Amino acid sequence: MGNLSPLLMTIWHDAWHWISGFQTLVAGVFAVIAAWIGARALYNSARQTTNRQIAQERERSERRKQFGCLAMTSELQELARRTVQAKGTIVAVIGANTEVTDAIRERTYLTMPSVAQDWEVMSLLPTGAVERCFALNRKVNDHNFDISQAGGAFGAHDFRESLKSRADAIKNGADALAMLLGETELTEP
Q: How confident is the model at residue 97, as a pLDDT?
A: 83
CATH of the domain at 19: 1.20.120.340
Q: What confidence tens digit (pLDDT) does each residue in 143-155 have?
A: 999 888 887 767 7
Q: Give the pTM.
A: 0.67
- Please state whether 180 falls in left (phi above 0), alpha (psi between -120 and 50) or beta: alpha
Express as a percent the part of the chain with pLDDT over 90.
27
Per-residue confidence band for 181, with pLDDT thresholds at 50, 70 and 90: confident
Q: Note the pLDDT of residue 186.
A: 44
Task: Tell me: pLDDT of 188 over 60.
Answer: no
d(CA 55, CA 126): 20
Total tally of structural domains belonging to the chain: 1
H helices of 97-156, in order, are: 102-108, 119-122, 127-149
d(CA 80, CA 76): 6
Segments forming the whole domain that contains residue 49: 4-187
Q: Is the pLDDT score of 187 beyond 60?
A: no
